């Protein structure tokens, strides 16, 4: 219920100015439930903060196509609690997906999209999927990238994600599906899902919240396990963040570079193997570099296109 209220409040916040009929409809919506007024205030405040943030155009922003006046803002709101990544990471919350939509995100673009059945899809950068919501089933075909779904309950219409070599079905749950190359990873954050190999060579398995399955194209059985903390860290991109807990600098740099035009470059292999812990904004590679300058005694060189990281030659060995 909360997600539905926040989403509707965001839609009202985007409608400006209101026609007389819309004003009447808004007043009626506000009177329906005590939470509506607070949700609208949060949405208006959040939208105001976005308007202030976009004054110079950030790198990585993808312009929306020409649209009706009520969609004229470049960045739109998915709900007051979900303002992801300003600057280089584009937080685009589109219109509610219809019964058959093709969605693709570019580099640095994170999209949070309400679906017509009441579900929510958070779509990572450089992802592509097709949404087909029919009367008897809800089907998502993921061609590449990563999507986190919060699925609205509808036992009459199973929610199925086809990621090539693997499929997953859920009812009233939340999970992510990642398709990179020929490999697929499924992780559950709430409830449970059924998973199986598309070639039907194995039995259907059930994943509970905090569990994952990794399918490989070589046809071997998927690797499964329980890693709730790691799953939550891996989904920090939904809030425009990267959470590190023992990953190498090389791994962190690869993540940052998916979201920013100004690329991080590690010049020293030994430095790239250093392991890091912390929470960082994906749209701020320069801030990340400054942290490394202080904590790893790294030497940072900045140009318009890249931020170079190397060992400080003056460091005490």
**Given this model, what pLDDT does residue 101 score?**
85
| Terminal-to-terminal C-alpha distance of the chain | 58
pLDDT value at 275 more than 90? yes
SS3 28: helix
Residues whose CB falls within 8 Å of the CB of residue 15, separated by 6 or more in sequence, listed in order: 22, 70
Q: What is the largest CA-CA distance in the chain?
A: 73
Highest mean pLDDT among 35-39, 203-207, 299-303: 299-303
The tokens describing 158, both together, are: 């199973």
pLDDT value at 58 more than 50? no
Confidence of residue 271 (pLDDT cuts 50, 70, 90): very high
Mean pLDDT, to the nearest integer, of 156-184?
92
**Given this model, what pLDDT does residue 294 score?**
87
pLDDT value at 126 more than 80? yes
**Given this model, what pLDDT does residue 220 score?**
78
Partners of 170 in the β-ladder: 159, 193
Mean pLDDT, to the nearest integer, of 169-194?
93
**Given this model, what pLDDT does residue 30 score?**
82
**Given this model, what pLDDT does residue 22 score?**
77
Q: In 79-204, which ranges are E strands?
A: 90-92, 100-104, 109-114, 120-123, 128-133, 138-150, 159-162, 166-170, 174-180, 183-190, 192-197
**Given this model, what pLDDT does residue 132 score?**
93
Number of neighbouring beta carbons within 10 Å of residue 283:
25
Mean pLDDT, to the nearest integer, of 160-166?
94
**Buried b vs exposed e over 147-186: b needs ≥16 C-beta within 10 Å?**
bbbbbbebeebebbbbbbbbbbbbbebbbbbbbeeebbbb
Q: What is the pTM assigned to this prediction?
A: 0.67
pLDDT value at 103 more than 90? yes
pLDDT value at 49 more than 50? no
Cα-to-chain-centroid distance, residue 217? 25
Residue range 187-241, pLDDT digits in tens? 999 999 999 998 866 678 999 999 999 999 887 789 999 999 999 999 999 988 9
Distance CA(68)–CA(218), nearest Å, equals: 48
Number of neighbouring beta carbons within 10 Å of residue 146:
23
Residue 115 has what DSSP assignment?
B
Helix %, strand %, coil % for the chain, to 5?
25, 35, 40
């Amino acid at each position: 219920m909360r997600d539905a209220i926040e989403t509707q409040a965001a839609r009202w916040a985007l409608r400006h100015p209101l026609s007389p009929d819309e004003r009447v409809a808004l007043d009626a919506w506000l009177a329906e439930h005590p939470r509506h007024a607070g949700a609208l205030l949060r949405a208006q405040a959040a939208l105001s903060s976005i308007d202030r943030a976009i004054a110079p155009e950030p790198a990585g922003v993808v312009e929306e196509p020409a649209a009706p006046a009520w969609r004229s803002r470049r960045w739109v709101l998915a709900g007051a609690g979900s303002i992801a990544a300003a600057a280089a990471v584009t937080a685009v919350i589109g219109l509610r997906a219809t019964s058959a939509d093709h969605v693709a995100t570019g580099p640095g673009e994170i999209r949070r999209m309400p679906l017509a059945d009441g579900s929510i899809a958070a779509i990572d950068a450089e992802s592509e999927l097709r949404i087909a919501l029919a009367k008897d089933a809800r089907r998502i075909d993921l061609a590449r990238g990563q999507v986190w779904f919060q699925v609205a309950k509808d036992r009459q219409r199973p929610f199925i994600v086809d990621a090539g070599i693997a499929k997953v079905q859920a009812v009233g749950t939340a999970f992510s599906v990642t398709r990179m190359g020929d490999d697929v990873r499924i992780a559950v954050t709430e409830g449970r899902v059924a998973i199986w190999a598309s070639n039907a060579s194995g039995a259907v398995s059930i994943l509970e919240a905090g569990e994952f399955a990794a399918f490989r194209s070589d046809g071997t059985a998927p690797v499964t396990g329980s890693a709730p903390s790691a799953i939550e860290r891996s989904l920090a991109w939904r809030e425009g963040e990267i959470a590190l807990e023992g990953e190498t600098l090389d791994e962190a740099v690869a993540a940052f570079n998916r979201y920013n035009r100004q690329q991080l470059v590690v010049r020293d292999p030994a430095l790239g193997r250093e392991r890091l812990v912390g929470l960082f904004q994906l749209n701020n590679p320069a801030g990340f570099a400054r942290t490394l300058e202080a904590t790893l005694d790294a030497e940072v060189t900045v140009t318009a296109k890249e931020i170079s990281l190397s060992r400080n030659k003056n460091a005490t060995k």
